[in-house]
A and B are shown apart, each in its own frame.
Chain A
Amino acid sequence: MAQTSIASYFNTR
Chain B
Amino acid sequence: MFEARLNAATTLKKVLDAIKDLLNEATFDCSDAGIQLQAMDNSHVSLVSLTLRSDGFDKFRCDRNLSMGMNLGSMSKILKCANNEDTVTMKAQDNADTVTFMFESQNHEKVSDYEMKLMNLDQEHLGIPETDYSCVVRMPAMEFARICRDLSQFGESVIICCTKEGVKFSASGDVGSANIKLAQTSSVDKEEEAVTIEMQEPVSLTFACRYLNAFTKATPLSNQVQLSMSADVPLVVEYRIPDLGHIRYYLAPKIEE
Chain A contact residues, CB within 8 Å of chain B? 1-13
Q: Assess whether B226 is interfacial by the CB under 8 Å rule.
A: no
B44 near A7 with CB under 8 A, answer yes
- Give A4 to B126 CA distance when docked, in angstroms: 15
Using A4-B255, A8-B252, A13-B127 as known contacts, list a sample of 5 further A-B pairs with CB atoms less than 8 Å apart, ordered by residue number in A. A1-B157, A4-B45, A5-B44, A6-B45, A10-B47
Q: Is the interface of A mostly helix, strand, loop or mixed?
A: mixed
A2 near B129 with CB under 8 A, answer no
Specify the chain A residue showing the minimal Cβ separation from B257: A2
- Chain B contacts of A8 at CB under 8 A? 252
How big is the B interface, by class?
Answer: 20 to 34
B124 near A4 with CB under 8 A, answer no
A5 near B124 with CB under 8 A, answer no
- Chain A contacts of B250 at CB under 8 A? 6, 9-10
- Give A5 to B41 CA distance when docked, in angstroms: 10
Q: Assess whether B175 is interfacial by the CB under 8 Å rule.
A: no
- Chain A contacts of B188 at CB under 8 A? none
Specify the chain B residue showing the minimal Cβ separation from A2: B257
- Chain A contacts of B40 at CB under 8 A? 6-7
A-B contact pairs, 17 of them (CB 8 A): A1-B206, A1-B257, A3-B208, A3-B252, A4-B45, A4-B252, A5-B252, A6-B46, A6-B126, A6-B250, A8-B252, A9-B233, A9-B250, A11-B127, A11-B129, A12-B125, A13-B127
- Give A12 to B125 CA distance when docked, in angstroms: 6
